[in-house]
């Protein structure tokens, strides 16, 4: 028998673990679709369901890693959270106040709480501004007096490991990639935010520089009591920095849990496939089979039911018909997976059977 009460419910935001501090950010049913135009008259040719009902909670002080293949919606989620683009629907609550809703927190005030570091360190910086002007720009725009904003820029340069006396008058083209990313981090911290979204922030760096910047980020988190959302396609890096991990596939959250639950006991077939695709340093442990079969589906017309069913080795007829919602994994409290095999009495042959009495 199908567990319709579970599958038909709108998925709640999977809660942050109880031993963590209260949620600083709650995301509920966030949706962002993009209209694709085509043909002679540029009529609507469909919609890319980039973010399609994403919900999660972020506890103060934690690092939540977000992973998934390119096009899964992780960066769009970040941009919508930052309000670099407006969501189509859904609610974002920061420190108990709804963002951009009547009586809630304004986008301007939100910038004091939430900042972002992007992957492309060069494109993120204005080539005509010195490093000091770059870091002081945000505070100046928010009304901080010039001298105080400059002093803040110098302090932050020191914090990110760049000598202010050497760097304040330089321009972005005079810096290496690692130095530019340190400036981007300093700029993100200039408004003293509590949450920083790091969107592939170390992906473009050489491995040795990447390790230095990761260690810097960990130190800053400790010193400044920061909370991170760490978006990356690199599962090794996410394992290193995260407390919890959220996995996305074609605009949906398919699994969320602690870093140990995800890396040692993943419940969703897609997460297991991603993990088995991680490069191994052990020559005896080389993958000989591709971990995921088939091409990624077209995000304009995603598969019905479970969006992973066209590539899943465990798919059954039910999977193409009914969409599984996030459901707590057996014997855990905060590990959620959106798979019919995880939902008691779902109708999948591998689902746990529970009597209703």
**Can you give the binding site for ligand SF4, defined by CB under 6 A?**
268-269, 306, 308-309, 312, 314-315, 319, 324, 339-341
Shortest distance in whole angstroms from residue 341 CB to ligand SF4: 5
By CB atoms closer than 10 A (0-12, 13-18, 19+), residue 250 is: buried
Nearer residue to ligand SF4 within complex by CB, 51 or 315 = 315
Note the maximum CA span of the chain: 73
Shortest distance in whole angstroms from residue 156 CB to ligand SF4: 44
Task: Please say whether the dihedral angle defined by the alpha carbons of residues 257, 311, 275 and 350, taken in this order, is positive or negative.
Answer: positive
Contacts of 106 (CB under 8 A, 6+ apart): 100
197 bridge partner residues:
116, 229
Shortest distance in whole angstroms from residue 338 CB to ligand SF4: 7
Nearer residue to ligand SF4 within complex by CB, 312 or 326 = 312
Find the angle CA(196)-CA(198)-CA(199) to the nearest 5 degrees: 140
Shortest distance in whole angstroms from residue 261 CB to ligand SF4: 17
Picking from 231, 305, 258, 236, the residue whose alpha carbon sits closest to that of residue 70 is 231
246 bridge partner residues:
66, 256
Shortest distance in whole angstroms from residue 264 CB to ligand SF4: 19
Nearer residue to ligand SF4 within complex by CB, 123 or 330 = 330
Dist CA 341 CA 204 (whole Å)? 37
Shortest distance in whole angstroms from residue 295 CB to ligand SF4: 16
34 bridge partner residues:
48
Other C-beta atoms lying within 10 Å of the C-beta of residue 107:
12
Nearer residue to ligand SF4 within complex by CB, 199 or 323 = 323
Contacts of 177 (CB under 8 A, 6+ apart): 121, 122, 204, 205, 206, 209
Nearer residue to ligand SF4 within complex by CB, 152 or 311 = 311
Nearer residue to ligand SF4 within complex by CB, 24 or 326 = 326
Dist CA 67 CA 336 (whole Å)? 15
Nearer residue to ligand SF4 within complex by CB, 107 or 277 = 277
Shortest distance in whole angstroms from residue 268 CB to ligand SF4: 6
């Amino acid at each position: 028998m199908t567990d319709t009460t579970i599958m038909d419910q709108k998925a709640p935001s999977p809660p942050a673990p109880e031993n963590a501090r209260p949620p600083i950010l709650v995301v509920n049913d966030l949706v962002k679709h993009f209209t694709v135009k085509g043909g002679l008259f540029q009529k609507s040719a469909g919609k890319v369901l980039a973010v399609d009902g994403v919900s999660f909670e972020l506890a103060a002080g934690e690092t939540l890693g977000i992973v998934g293949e390119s096009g899964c919606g992780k960066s769009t989620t970040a941009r919508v959270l930052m309000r670099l683009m407006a969501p189509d629907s859904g609610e974002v609550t920061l420190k108990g106040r709804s963002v951009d809703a009547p009586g809630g927190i304004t986008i301007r005030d939100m910038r004091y709480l939430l900042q972002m570091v992007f992957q492309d360190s060069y494109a993120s910086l204005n080539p005509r501004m010195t490093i000091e002007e770059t870091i002081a720009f945000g505070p100046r725009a928010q009304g901080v007096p010039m001298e105080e904003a400059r002093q803040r820029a110098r302090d932050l340069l020191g914090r990110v490991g760049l000598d202010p006396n050497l760097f304040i008058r330089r321009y972005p083209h005079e810096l290496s990639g690692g130095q530019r990313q340190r400036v981007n981090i300093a700029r993100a911290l200039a408004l003293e935010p509590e949450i920083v979204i790091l969107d592939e922030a170390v992906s473009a760096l050489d491995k040795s520089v990447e390790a230095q910047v990761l260690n810097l980020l960990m130190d800053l988190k400790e010193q400044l009591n920061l909370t991170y959302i760490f978006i990356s396609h690199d599962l090794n890096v996410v394992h290193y920095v995260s407390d919890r991990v959220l996995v996305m596939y074609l605009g949906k959250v398919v699994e969320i849990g602690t870093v140990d639950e995800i890396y040692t006991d993943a419940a969703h077939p897609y997460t297991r496939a991603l993990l088995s695709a991680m490069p191994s340093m052990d020559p005896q442990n080389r993958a000989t089979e591709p971990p995921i079969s088939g091409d990624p589906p077209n995000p304009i017309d995603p598969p019905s039911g479970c969006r992973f069913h066209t590539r899943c080795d465990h798919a059954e007829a039910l999977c193409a018909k009914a969409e599984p919602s996030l459901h707590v994994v057996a014997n855990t409290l905060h590990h959620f997976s959106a798979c019919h095999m995880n939902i008691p009495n779902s109708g999948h042959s591998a689902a746990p059977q529970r009597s209703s009495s």
